Amino acid sequence: MNQVSCGLRRCLGGWRYACLTMLATGLLAVSSTNAIAELSTYQALYNVSLAGVGSKASVTWSKGALAIRLTRDCRKWQSQTEFFFAGEFGDGTRFKQHTMSRVRESLNGLAMEYSGWRDISGTARADFSGSARLASIGGVGAITVVQPRKRLLQIPEGAVFPISAMRTAVAKLSAGETTASVSYFEEGGEFAKILLVPSQPIILQAQPRGDAALVQGRSWKLRIDQIFEDEEKNTGAPKKPDAPFTILQVHETGVASYLFINLGDGRSVTATLVEVRAIPEPKC
């Protein structure tokens, strides 16, 4: 049943603004110089298409969309991501994936609140929420999970929050660094790791509507892998060979123009930017 839908569930478990946070997700480790770049505040819309399915699967039709919004005021950043993907298999069985996530992060990157939900075909809607704090940037911290069940988790040294990590990533990449990685806590209550992929950038075939200048100039290809966390020991377990991953093209503004999402077992989707518009920044 729902093979593509289940794959999307596994993917979005480690790719939420990843996917978000995707694109305001954290990317590279905070260096001793503590270089920080200012991201653009924006809203973006992506067209999501099925790129491939398992050898035994056939899909009659599919459609999807991804929307991302990143803003800030004088105290905090806020990101919101919504993902929708649906379709029908050759046997008439339909599948659907609909997720929403929100992140609020203090401007200094030491505090974070998150919430969201997942609505997946064949399963009950799942809600998640909580908050987290760091003792210092790159230091240890604690996560208070409220949903799906109350619990307290530790943040290991070196892990960061999504938006401050993206700011650091853009600064480091703009400075010419070519080898760096980071683990970060993302809003689904899990950890992920990002690596720079040394390859040619993905070029959009058509310019997006709106403020296309946000995705012009330099960009970098990045890969996101989920870290499977041991809740008792708070240590990352080895990644499964067929585990999902996401590759995204990120620009100096922090906006991603393209994503390739491997769902595992041969299934994958792409998200292509079709509209992006700048949001005015506050005068603090």
pLDDT of 261-283, one tens digit each? 887 666 789 999 999 999 998 88
Structure tokens at 135: 């003792």
Using one digit for the tens of pLDDT, what is the confidence trace for 159-191?
888 887 777 777 778 888 876 576 788 876 678
Mean pLDDT within 115-139 = 91
Q: How far, in Å, CA of 41 to CA of 22, rounded?
A: 14
pTM recorded for the entire structure: 0.82
Contact 104, 115 (CB under 8 A): no
Q: Which residue has the higher pLDDT, 193 or 51?
A: 51
Using one digit for the tens of pLDDT, what is the confidence trace for 100-121?
999 999 999 999 999 999 998 8
Say if residue 282 is preceded by a cis peptide, omega within 30 of 0: no
Q: How far, in Å, CA of 91 to CA of 24, rounded?
A: 38
Is 262 exposed, middle or buried, given 0-12, 13-18 or 19+ CB atoms closer than 10 A? buried
Q: pLDDT band for 14, please (50, 70, 90 cuts).
A: very low
Using one digit for the tens of pLDDT, what is the confidence trace for 81-101?
999 999 998 888 888 889 999
